[in-house]
Amino acid sequence: MAHFGNYEEHCRDFSWSISERELEYQEGRPFNIGWHCSDRICLQGKGNRTALIWEGLGDKRKEYTYTDLRIRSNVVGHHLRSLGIRAEDRVCLFMDKIPELYIGFLGVLKIGAIAQPLFSAFGDESLFVRLDNAQTSAIITQRKHVPKIRKIIDRLPSLKHIIIVDHDGRKELKERETAFDMDSAPAVESLDIHPTHAESPSVLHYTSGTTGQPKGVKHVHYSLISQYLTTKWVLDLHDDDIYWCTADPGWVTGTSYGIIGPFSMGVTQCVMDIGFSADAWYQFIERHRITVWYSAPTAIRSLMKAGDAVVKKYDLSSLRHLASVGEPLNAEAVIWGQKVFGLPFHDTFWQTETGSMMITNYPTMPIKPGSMGKPFPGITAAVLNINTFEPMSEPGQIGLIGFKPGWPSMMRTYWNNEATYRAKFKNGWYLSGDRARTDADGYWWFVGRDDDVINTGGHLVSPFEVESALLEHPAVAESAVVSKPDEVNMEVVKAFVTLKSGYQPSKDLELEIMNFIRKKLSPLAMPQETEFVDGLPKTRSGKIMRRILHAQEWGEEIGDTSTLENDD
């Protein structure tokens, strides 16, 4: 039976104390996510249960029980302490989806340090701005990523330790680099868990904005109260479930629901560190008898593209509950799920800043394909007037998605950027930066973003960050970056570029620029198309009007151009 019952009844009777009670939280007492996700599960007598099943390239496979999770995260915590890492120091996790990432995350939290996960495909510049902003003390990484760190280390005086988890002795270690093998280090049976409290910082996740550098979203240990209950009620995890979250812990879905949620409930989860292919994914579900699957629209669209015949090659009968997050989930994708798996995908809407699901579909509530569902019990959501920030009670009106502050996993600030954090609140509401409408039945429908941030395959890309990186290319004079439509990723990055004198547009130059951005930032931020232009549309004050270029790419009305520079 589903953990979640009738939506209206849950809303009526709701209090976060439901979650606090189940997690035995007591105000003023120590509360630590790392402990809750490992030691507590063992104390419940579930130490022998499999916590993590991992598969990597070349048929590599590893398994960890909850006892292993407890001991190995102790090992990581102990090692970090021996290096001098203290509570609230930032420790970056810069790894592919390997066990050290999942277990290291818990180890960092156990000693009260702040976990800063970063997507391992980030290039040196993306890495630099985030490590510099956070004044990170240590980075845990793999051999293959060390060259990127070596490139920027001279500019990062705070970064004292580069901890390499798979050092094989073939290359020499340089200054500040040390080798650490999590699996073979001596077991640490008991570790003094740092007495973090509800409001102690836990995780620092970087997210993209329209202007300026990426923002470090600061979360606290109390976030577990939201993450646990949403995992239980929305993902409906039960003791015997085998769960698969396809997200990378470099992004918030991969930590909130790829580490914290499932481990705090003591279920078995699977991780696949192999690139995408429909066959590989279905095989993975079949092999591990996966029951609950949390994925993203881009992946689902790719599976749809691969066709229904591939699905039939595999026994996917273990699946019982499917969910999705990251971008709008098309109605067709929901219906396709029903057709080929006999199960619809349950869309969930939330953000790095919200820390946990906000508007979602529940196992027991009828789905309207294309709708994000309804606010989680205890969450007060409203469609706000774009100018007055007043809630609009009439269904059908489009406005800003606003949430009443105060849910447990709400971000506590943007790191070193309190002003930008404050600007997210208007008229007593937290503004998500997205637009939506509701219908007469109280279901929410996503309309679009309210800013220029590009959502490519569920990953947010800052146009500003790409523009800044483009300017560092010797041929580029000016640039403007917008999204353009794409069948699978919904949006991809498109760059408009003016060249410095002496440079000519060419296919080679376009490829060179693409590669330049891929290496510096990441494959996600790489422009899929670069258009060389003579000039960019600008306001009279000299600001590039991305809106005009965006409209052009999407075939939309351009709208008000009265502030345009060359338009008197």
325 binds ligand 6R9, rule: CB under 6 A:
yes
177 binds ligand 6R9, rule: CB under 6 A:
no
CA distance linking residue 70 with residue 91, whole number of Å: 19
Provide, rounded to whole angstroms, the least separation between the CB of residue 525 and ligand 6R9.
14
- For residues 97 and 142, the answer to whether their CB atoms sit within 8 Å is no
525 binds ligand 6R9, rule: CB under 6 A:
no
Out of 56, 433, 505, 523, the only residue in the binding site for ligand 6R9 (CB under 6 A) is 433
Out of 77, 123, 249, 328, the only residue in the binding site for ligand 6R9 (CB under 6 A) is 328
Count of residues that bind ligand 6R9 according to CB under 6 A: 24
Q: Shortest CA distance to 142 belongs to which of 125, 117, 167?
A: 167
Q: Which of 326/369 has CB closer to ligand 6R9?
A: 326
330 binds ligand 6R9, rule: CB under 6 A:
no
65 binds ligand 6R9, rule: CB under 6 A:
no
Provide, rounded to whole angstroms, the least separation between the CB of residue 433 and ligand 6R9.
6
327 binds ligand 6R9, rule: CB under 6 A:
yes
And the tokens for 164?
A: 């390499």
Taking contact as CB under 6 A, which single stretch among the options 127-135, 223-231, 452-460, 507-515 is the one that binds ligand 6R9?
452-460
CA angle (123, 124, 128) in 5-degree steps: 125
Provide, rounded to whole angstroms, the least separation between the CB of residue 206 and ligand 6R9.
10
Q: How far apart, in Å, do the first and last CA atoms of the chain sit?
A: 66
Taking contact as CB under 6 A, which single stretch among the options 195-203, 251-259, 264-272, 462-470 is the one that binds ligand 6R9?
251-259
CA distance linking residue 237 with residue 227, whole number of Å: 12
254 binds ligand 6R9, rule: CB under 6 A:
no
Q: Which of 99/249 has CB closer to ligand 6R9?
A: 249
* Angle, in degrees to the nearest 10, between helices 463-471 and 507-520: 120
497 binds ligand 6R9, rule: CB under 6 A:
no
DSSP state, residue 43? I
Which residues neighbour 80 within 8 Å (Cβ) at sequence distance 6 or greater?
91, 107, 108, 111, 113, 138
Which residues neighbour 17 within 8 Å (Cβ) at sequence distance 6 or greater?
none
Which residues neighbour 105 within 8 Å (Cβ) at sequence distance 6 or greater?
34, 93, 115, 117, 249, 255, 259
Taking contact as CB under 6 A, which single stretch among the options 17-25, 32-40, 319-327, 522-530 is the one that binds ligand 6R9?
319-327
Give me the phi and psi of 527, to 5 degrees please: -65, 130
Provide, rounded to whole angstroms, the least separation between the CB of residue 329 and ligand 6R9.
6
Provide, rounded to whole angstroms, the least separation between the CB of residue 553 and ligand 6R9.
18
- For residues 282 and 314, the answer to whether their CB atoms sit within 8 Å is yes
β-pair partners for 414: 217
460 binds ligand 6R9, rule: CB under 6 A:
yes
Q: Which of 196/351 has CB closer to ligand 6R9?
A: 351
Provide, rounded to whole angstroms, the least separation between the CB of residue 443 and ligand 6R9.
13
245 binds ligand 6R9, rule: CB under 6 A:
no
Out of 326, 377, 408, 457, the only residue in the binding site for ligand 6R9 (CB under 6 A) is 326
Q: Which of 180/251 has CB closer to ligand 6R9?
A: 251
Q: Shortest CA distance to 534 belongs to which of 559, 554, 504, 562?
A: 504
Q: Which of 266/463 has CB closer to ligand 6R9?
A: 463
- Considering only residues 191 to 220 of the shown chain, the ones binding ligand 6R9 according to CB under 6 A are 207
- For residues 270 and 288, the answer to whether their CB atoms sit within 8 Å is yes
- 466-489 burial, b for 16+ CB within 10 Å, e for fewer? bbbbbeebebbebbbbbbbebeeb
Out of 349, 376, 444, 464, the only residue in the binding site for ligand 6R9 (CB under 6 A) is 349
CA distance linking residue 315 with residue 286, whole number of Å: 6
Q: Which residue is nearest to ligand 6R9 (CB)?
A: 352
Contact residues for ligand 6R9, defined by CB under 6 A:
207, 251-253, 325-329, 347-352, 372, 432-434, 446, 449, 455, 458, 460
